[in-house]
Amino acid sequence: MRSETAAIPYRKGLQPEEKPAVPELSALRDYILPAILIIAGVAVCLIDGMYQGDNGWKPLNAVAGSVLISMIGSVALAVGAVFAASALGGIAFQEPLPIVIYKLCAAALAPGAIGSLALHWIGGINGDMAGVIISLGCYFLLFMLLFRLVFSDQVVCVMLLFIIRTGVAYMIFKMQGAKHGSEI
């Protein structure tokens, strides 16, 4: 039984949680470099669309529509994958949301097109493997250049992006096969 004279220990009240310091925005890293990468990514996507490997080159007007759809899909998949990684993996970006999306647009375009160009240029099964490895390397490089994330968070973002892109490509492959009567 507790006595009435026992002193109740003093407890310190709850304190507000300290917020991490938001890093200063860098004009080069946050605005200029993504703009350059977006322009270069659009150019590489157009080159990838026009280059057909051994079959030569197609004119720009013949591939502009499909390249535009591919670029929009790449950006949408990149933004979706990174926000899924953020929601599922607890990855927190320090920059404001519009800048994160702007940087994702810069990182989304070129790697897939560069991997596809390597696939066409090398050819065969070696080109298939090299294209994937080169694409992943480009994604890692761009994430390291553009985002202030720890390496493990960059790996999660890039791998989830790769898994989602591969899954979508596989579904498209299956639908094209079904359209032409293939069971594979």
* 149, 91 Cβ separation under 8 angstroms: yes
Q: Is 59 left (phi over 0), alpha (psi -120 to 50) or beta?
A: beta
Tell me: pLDDT of 25 over 60: yes
Question: Is 86 exposed, middle or buried, given 0-12, 13-18 or 19+ CB atoms closer than 10 A?
Answer: middle
Average pLDDT, the chain: 84
Predicted local distance difference test score (pLDDT) of residue 167: 84
180 vs 102: which has the higher pLDDT = 102
pTM of the full structure? 0.76
Q: Where are the domains of the chain?
A: 27-179
Task: With CA atoms as reference, report the closest residue to 58 among 69, 47, 68.
Answer: 47
Tell me: pLDDT of 42 over 70: yes
* 103, 95 Cβ separation under 8 angstroms: yes
Residue 171: pLDDT band (50, 70, 90) is confident
Residue 52: pLDDT band (50, 70, 90) is confident
59-76 pLDDT, tens digit each: 999 999 989 998 998 899
Name residues whose C-beta falls within 8 Å of residue 153's C-beta, 6 or more positions apart in sequence. Answer: 85, 89, 91
